[in-house]
Amino acid sequence: MAAVVLLCLALTACGGNASGNGSDGRPVVLTTFTVLADVARNVAGDKLQVESITKAGAEIHGYEPTPGDIRKAAQADLILDNGLNLEAWFGQFVEGLDVPHAVVSEGVEVMSIAEDSYQGKPNPHAWMSPVNVQIYVDNMVKAFSELDPQNAAAFEANGKAYKAKLQAVQDQMKAKLAAVPKNQRALVTCEGAFSYLTRDAGLDEVYIWAVNAEQQATPQQITEAIGYVRANKVPAVFCESTVSDAPMRQVVEATGAKFGGVLYVDSLSETDGPVPTYLDLIRHDSQLITAALSGAGS
Ligand SMILES: [Zn+2]
């Protein structure tokens, strides 16, 4: 009897599902950050165990993996990364690991960074367009089906249902932001992370620095932001949840613009915070931006 139980534990196949390295025998999918983990869970349903390497609130561009992360990755059945140079640490991280990995941004229409030393490089924040995330979903369905072919139909169905939600949140986001008055349609943030969202919503994008990987906020960058806000009478400016808002507070002080609030882009919040899911993230940001730029904000 004991021998049979031990055998089951060892093979993790007695339940009849695909065997994986998860604590409950399901295959383990590891993502580089929380946004991808949430999207992946929507596609995986209960068939796979999905976890994020970086935790809610973490800075993800220049993250330094711990030995524990590397152990976890070595035992994963599949690793998902965003690609487009988002995870500067990722190449070295998976080097030498015998674990398949999939780049979920593959196939999106890439926007380039317009300024700074990053000029011409891809802007990695493609998930800030829910239309792009529909492509992420397709890539996940494909990767999950290769990992666990028995559940391919479930991944396909989950993906289809979630893509409908993504389209709905995209439509809501655009409708909401359409209400921002004509002369106030500029989104001023700390990182240049909103290029895809501002493209979709028809806003101008202004930022202090291009990519968090080299977050510096030089005096010149702050002066330029101040100049733009003054010249365009921008009513409110924003900063993101994973970085210090001190540079943007300087812009606020110098211009009299309001601090419009904290936007989420590189990370979800904790479960009890304002954006526990990706769909919440898009709803939260579009609501906050609309309210602050329309003068209805706090
Ligand atoms: Zn970022």
Please write the tens of the pLDDT for every residue from 159-192: 999 999 999 999 999 999 999 999 999 999 999 9
Distance 191 CA to ligand 1 centre (A): 7
In this structure, which residues have their CB less than 5 angstroms from ion ligand 1?
Answer: 193, 212, 266
Predicted confidence at residue 7, as pLDDT, reads: 43
Q: What is the Cα–Cα distance from 290 to 165, expressed in whole angstroms?
A: 21
Predicted confidence at residue 215, as pLDDT, reads: 62
Q: What is the Cα–Cα distance from 265 to 128, expressed in whole angstroms?
A: 7
Model confidence band, residue 35 (pLDDT cutoffs 50, 70, 90): very high
Q: What is the Cα–Cα distance from 19 to 188, expressed in whole angstroms?
A: 48
Give all strands (DSSP E) within the chain, no chain letters: 28-31, 49-52, 78-81, 101-103, 186-191, 204-209, 236-240, 258-263
Whether the CB-CB separation of 248 and 292 falls below 8 Å is answered with: no
Q: Which two tokens stand for residue 226?
A: 């101040």
Distance 282 CA to ligand 1 centre (A): 15
Distance 98 CA to ligand 1 centre (A): 28
DSSP assignment string, 46-90: TSSEEEESSPTT---TT----HHHHHHHHH-SEEEE--TT--TTH
Q: Which long-range contacts (CB under 8 A, 24 or more apart) does 213-222 make?
A: 213/61, 213/62, 213/88, 214/117, 215/191, 215/243, 217/190, 217/246, 217/247, 221/247, 222/247, 222/250, 222/251
Q: What residue ranges of the chain are covered by domains with CATH 3.40.50.1980? A: 11-104+111-173, 177-293
Q: Which two tokens stand for residue 173?
A: 């986001």
Q: Which two tokens stand for residue 125?
A: 């924040």
Could you give phi then psi for residue 166, rounded to 5 degrees? -65, -40
Q: Which amino acid is at 36?
A: L
Domain 177-293 has CATH 3.30.70.20: no
Mean pLDDT of 268-292: 97
Give this prediction's pTM.
0.92
Distance 267 CA to ligand 1 centre (A): 9
Question: In sequence order, which residues have a C-beta less than 8 Å from that of residue 256 and are 6 or more positions away?
Answer: none
Multiple choice CATH, 11-104+111-173, 3.40.50.620, 3.30.300.30, 3.40.50.300, 3.40.50.1980: 3.40.50.1980
Q: How many CB atoms lie within 10 A of CB 183?
A: 10
Rg of the Cα atoms in the chain: 21
Torsion angle defined by CA atoms of residues 175, 258, 275 and 247, in that order, rounded to the nearest 10 degrees: 120
- Mind listing the pLDDT tens digit for each residue in 192-250? 999 999 999 999 999 999 998 766 789 999 999 999 999 999 999 999 999 999 999 99
Compute the mean pLDDT over every residue in the chain, rounded to the nearest whole number: 92
Q: How many CB atoms lie within 10 A of CB 110?
A: 15
Distance 238 CA to ligand 1 centre (A): 14
Q: What is the Cα–Cα distance from 149 to 141, expressed in whole angstroms?
A: 10
